[in-house]
Amino acid sequence: MSDQVLLNGWGRTAPTPAVLTPVHDDAQVRAVLAAAGGRGVVARGLARSYGDAAQNAGGHVLDMTAADRVLAFDAETGLVDVEAGISLDELMNRFVPQGFFVPVTPGTRLVTVGGAIGADIHGKNHHVAGSFSQHVRWLDLLTADGEVHRVSPEQDPDLFWATAGGMGLTGVILRAQVQMKRIESSRCLVDTDRTPDLDSLMSLLAETDHLYEYSVAWIDTLAKGKRMGRSVVTRGRFATLDELPEKRKADPLKYHGSIKVTVPDVFPPGLLNLATVAAFNELWYRKSPKRKRNQLQSIPTFFHPLDAVGGWNRIYGPRGFVQYQVTVPFGQEEAMREVLDRLSSFGTASFLAVLKRFGPGNPGMLSYPSPGWTLALDIPVMKGLAGLLDSLDEVVIAAEGRTYLAKDSRVRPETFATMYPRLEEFRAVRKRVDPEGVFTSDLARRLAL
């Protein structure tokens, strides 16, 4: 059943109306496509893109979450064939107890496989494993002509790599085959270090990241002066069976991801202000150990701590928030310093700010990760924020860096075009498979994709 609804991204900004239709199979997708009209259609998963990527004002939106079956699984190879609406959460619940983990996970497990490909998500292991699409062996894509095409890095690679990171603008991802990662336990061995400033943080990561499979740093963006960039670094890997304590060896793959509490939608504007966030940041920094080794942590604790809090985005109040994520190449550390300096001087009330190192990029035309430093932070909507972020974009462009489409809700089209030099290649592939622009979104119109 289709309904006219207001849709927004995880940042809860700029909602727009669209006809939302749950779909279970290819025929239902084709039926919506046939009725789409001039405003077009876009697929939507669990709505964890922060901005307007899964919105389509005045048009149609496909709710893909009902198409969530596991179609085949090979326990010898770890290859799994799935429908695109299945979530990483469901893959973990099903396959961690069998000794397999998803190849890449972002900070939330509440992402569909189709969304993971469309945004070409990355995680704490990009420096060793790349992004999600690099672990996809093939995908079935329904294009504007109603036909289903099986594409892969070997079969129509241009279409595959335009779809990976293409934010749903080449067609509807229906199914995919994903290479899962074999694990011996559901526990991670985690090292924690507290660093006093940005220089010590970057030095630590540059010198030791190659020793760890997963790595991330939380940064206090309100710290100024000599303390700017102070952080808590957590790095780790999956524990082997031999490394588990005896009491856990009986059931080494025990796992269940759960939501422990749900945030009500009652928070007023301004709850997250400089005073409350500064207090949180100080507490978080001080409570973290200066140096701790081989701490055993669960998958939810290490990878997805915020998923334990359902609807945590409501904490930012009805005005919502913006996530700003940028990357700059190695050798452009001063640009990252300038970004952090401007953020701390402005007083952005962000308690969620992380810094990571990216490894090599992939052939994706709009894929975000490239070798360098990436910073992501959530900022409540506040006066002067648009001007600040535009000025930060200028710093990033000068350093030949870029922003991430899955997090973006406000970048200017000319800025985006400068950041992504392969944009014309993407447009050419999109024009080939969708000459009338049937697949579109608020993001696509905003950025003239």
Give the model's pLDDT for residue 285.
76
Residue 54 near residue 168 (C-beta atoms within 8 A): yes
* Residue 210 tokens, joined: 């190659």
Give the model's pLDDT for residue 402.
98
pLDDT of 110 strictly over 70: yes
Tokens 């070997």 -> residue: 154
Give the model's pLDDT for residue 143.
98
- Identify the band that residue 261 occupies on the pLDDT scale cut at 50, 70 and 90: low
Averaged pLDDT, 220-225: 85
Q: How many CA atoms lie within 13 A of 124 on its CB side?
A: 25
pLDDT, tens only, 304-352: 988 888 888 887 888 888 999 999 999 999 999 999 999 888 877 676 7
Residues in the chain, overall count: 449
pLDDT, tens only, 384-424: 999 999 999 999 999 999 999 999 999 999 999 999 999 99
Averaged pLDDT, 357-370: 98
- Identify the band that residue 287 occupies on the pLDDT scale cut at 50, 70 and 90: confident
Averaged pLDDT, 169-181: 98
Give the model's pLDDT for residue 214.
98
- Identify the band that residue 216 occupies on the pLDDT scale cut at 50, 70 and 90: very high
Question: What ranges do the domains of the chain cover?
Answer: 3-64, 67-183, 187-418
Q: Is 236 helix (H, G, I), strand (E, B) or coil?
A: strand
Alpha-carbon distance of 137 to 139, in angstroms, equals 7
pLDDT of 268 strictly over 70: no
Fold annotation for 187-418? Vanillyl-alcohol Oxidase; Chain A, domain 3 (3.40.462)
Architecture of domain 67-183: 2-Layer Sandwich (3.30)
- Identify the band that residue 270 occupies on the pLDDT scale cut at 50, 70 and 90: low
| Pairing assessment for the beta strands 291-298 and 60-63 based on DSSP bridges | unpaired
Give the model's pLDDT for residue 47.
96
Helical segments of 83-212, H only: 88-95, 113-118, 126-129, 157-163, 198-208
Alpha-carbon distance of 166 to 8, in angstroms, equals 19
pLDDT, tens only, 118-173: 999 999 999 999 999 999 999 999 999 999 999 999 999 999 999 999 999 999 99
- Identify the band that residue 443 occupies on the pLDDT scale cut at 50, 70 and 90: very high
**Residue 238, beta-bridge partner list:** 188
Average pLDDT across the chain, whole number: 93
Give the model's pLDDT for residue 2.
76
Give the model's pLDDT for residue 274.
67
pLDDT, tens only, 26-79: 999 999 999 988 899 999 999 999 999 999 999 999 999 999 999 999 999 999
Residue environment code for 248-262, b if the CB has 16+ CB neighbours within 10 A, otherwise e: beeebbebebeeeee
Give the model's pLDDT for residue 222.
82
Give the model's pLDDT for residue 32.
96
- Identify the band that residue 272 occupies on the pLDDT scale cut at 50, 70 and 90: low
Residue environment code for 155-177, b if the CB has 16+ CB neighbours within 10 A, otherwise e: ebebbbbbbbbbbbbbbbbbbbb
**Residue 85, beta-bridge partner list:** none
Torsion of Cα atoms, 111 then 117 then 120 then 126, to 10°: 80
Q: Please tell me which residue, 10 or 257, carries the higher pLDDT value.
A: 10
Which residues have a Cβ under 8 Å from the Cβ of 301 and sit 6 or more positions away? none
CA angle 69–74–76, rounded 5-degree value: 155
Residue 27 near residue 172 (C-beta atoms within 8 A): no
Percent of the chain with pLDDT over 70: 95
Range from 285-289, 354-358, 384-388 that averages highest in pLDDT: 354-358
Give the model's pLDDT for residue 380.
87
pLDDT of 89 strictly over 90: yes
